[in-house]
Amino acid sequence: MAAVGQGPLAFVQGAGELAVFVGRTFAWMPRRPFRWAQLFRHLRDIGFGSLFIVVLTGFFTGLVFGFQTLQGFRRFGAEALVGPATLLTLSRELGPVLTGLMVAGRSGSGMATELGTMRVTEQIDALSTLAVEPMQYLVVPRVLAATLMMPLLTAIFTGFGFYGCYLIGVGREGIDPGVFFFETWQAADPDDFYEGWIKGAFFGAQISLISSWQGFRASGGARGVGEAATRAVVLSSVSILVGTYLLAELLDPLIHGYIWFDALPK
Amino acid sequence: MIRIVGVRKRFGDREVLKGIDLDIPRGSNLVILGGSGMGKSVLMKHIIGLLQPDEGQIIVDGEDISRMSPLQLKRVRGKFGMVFQNGALFDSMSNWDNVAFPLREHRRDLKGAALDERVRHLFQLFSLDPDVVGPRAPSEISGGQRKRVALARAVALDPAIVLYDEPTTGLDPITTDQVDEMILDAKRKLGVTSIVISHDIASAFKIADHIIFIYDGQIVVRGLKHEMLTSTHPFVQRFFATWTAKNV
Ligand SMILES: Nc1ncnc2c1ncn2[C@@H]1O[C@H](COP(=O)(O)OP(=O)(O)OP(=O)(O)O)[C@@H](O)[C@H]1O
Ligand SMILES: [Mg+2]
Q: For chain A, which residues make up each domain, given as ranges? A: 35-256
pLDDT on residue A57:
96
pLDDT on residue A1:
47
Rg (CA), chain A: 21
Q: Are strands B161-165 and B193-197 parallel, antiparallel or unpaired?
A: parallel
User: Which ligand does the CA of B33 lie closest to?
Assistant: 1
Residues of B in contact with A122 (CB under 8 A): 84, 86, 88
Q: How many angstroms separate the Cα of A40 from the Cα of each of A35, A149, B22?
A: 9, 11, 46
Chain-wide mean pLDDT for chain B? 92
- Nearest chain A residue to B76 by CA: give it: A131
Q: Residue A115 — φ and ψ, nearest 5°?
A: -70, -35
Indicate yes or no: CB of A121 within 8 angstroms of CB of B90.
no
Going along chain B from its start, the domains and CATH numbers come out as 2-247 (3.40.50.300)
- Give dist(CA B50, CA B44) in Å, integer: 9
- Give dist(CA A130, CA B87) in Å, integer: 13
Q: What ranges in B126-218 are assigned the alpha helix state H?
A: 130-133, 143-155, 173-190, 201-207
What type of residue is A175? I
Adjacency order of strands within the sheet including B2-11: B14-24, B2-11, B55-60, B63-64
pLDDT on residue B243:
80
- Give dist(CA B38, CA B34) in Å, integer: 7
Please give, one letter per residue, the 3-state secondary structure of A28-47. Answer: HCCCCCCCHHHHHHHHHHHH
Q: What share of chain B is helix, strand, coil (3-state, %, to 5)?
A: 45, 25, 30
**Tens-digit pLDDT profile for chain A (266 aa)?**
454 456 788 889 999 999 999 999 999 999 888 999 999 999 999 999 999 999 999 999 999 999 999 999 888 888 889 999 999 999 999 999 999 999 999 999 999 999 999 999 999 999 999 999 999 999 999 999 999 999 999 999 999 999 999 999 999 888 999 999 999 898 888 888 999 999 999 999 999 999 999 999 999 899 999 999 999 999 999 999 999 999 988 888 887 665 555 555 54
Q: Are strands B193-197 and B210-215 parallel, antiparallel or unpaired?
A: unpaired
pLDDT mean over B12-22: 94
In 3D space, the residue among A204, A29, A186 whose CA is nearest the CA of residue A106 turns out to be A204
Q: How many CB pairs under 8 A join A and B?
A: 51
- Give dist(CA A250, CA A238) in Å, integer: 18
Evaluate: CB of B173 within 6 angstroms of ligand 1.
no
Half-sphere exposure (Cβ direction) of A96: Cα atoms closer than 13 Å: 32
pLDDT mean over B50-68: 93
For residue B236, report the distance from its CA to the centre of ligand 2, in Å: 18
User: Which ligand does the CA of B37 lie closest to?
Assistant: 1
Q: Cβ neighbours of residue B186 under 8 Å, at least 6 residues apart?
A: B155, B162, B192, B194
- Give dist(CA B130, CA B149) in Å, integer: 10
Residues of B in contact with A127 (CB under 8 A): 90
- Give dist(CA B164, CA B85) in Å, integer: 8
Among A121, A128, A132, whose Cβ lies nearest the Cβ of B86? A121
Digit-coded pLDDT (tens) for B131-163 = 999 999 999 999 889 999 999 999 999 999 999
Digit-coded pLDDT (tens) for B105-126 = 999 888 889 999 999 999 998 9
For residue B87, report the distance from its CA to the centre of ligand 1, in Å: 16
Indicate yes or no: CB of A123 within 8 angstroms of CB of B77.
no
pLDDT on residue A26:
95
Half-sphere exposure (Cβ direction) of A203: Cα atoms closer than 13 Å: 38
Q: How far is A245 from chain B (nearest CA, A)?
A: 36
- Shortest-distance atom of ligand 1 to CA A219: 1
pLDDT on residue B248:
63
- Nearest chain B residue to A41 by CA: give it: B92
Residues of B in contact with A141 (CB under 8 A): none
pLDDT on residue A143:
97
DSSP conformation class of A139: I
* Beta partners for residue B87, in sequence order: B84
Indicate yes or no: CB of A125 within 8 angstroms of CB of B101.
no
Q: Which of residues 9-28 of A touch B (CB under 8 A)?
A: 24
Residue A131, chain B, CB below 8 Å: the answer is yes
Residues of B in contact with A130 (CB under 8 A): 77, 101-102, 105-106, 153
Half-sphere exposure (Cβ direction) of A104: Cα atoms closer than 13 Å: 28
Residue A129, chain B, CB below 8 Å: the answer is yes
Helix axes A8-28, A140-166, angle to 10 degrees: 100
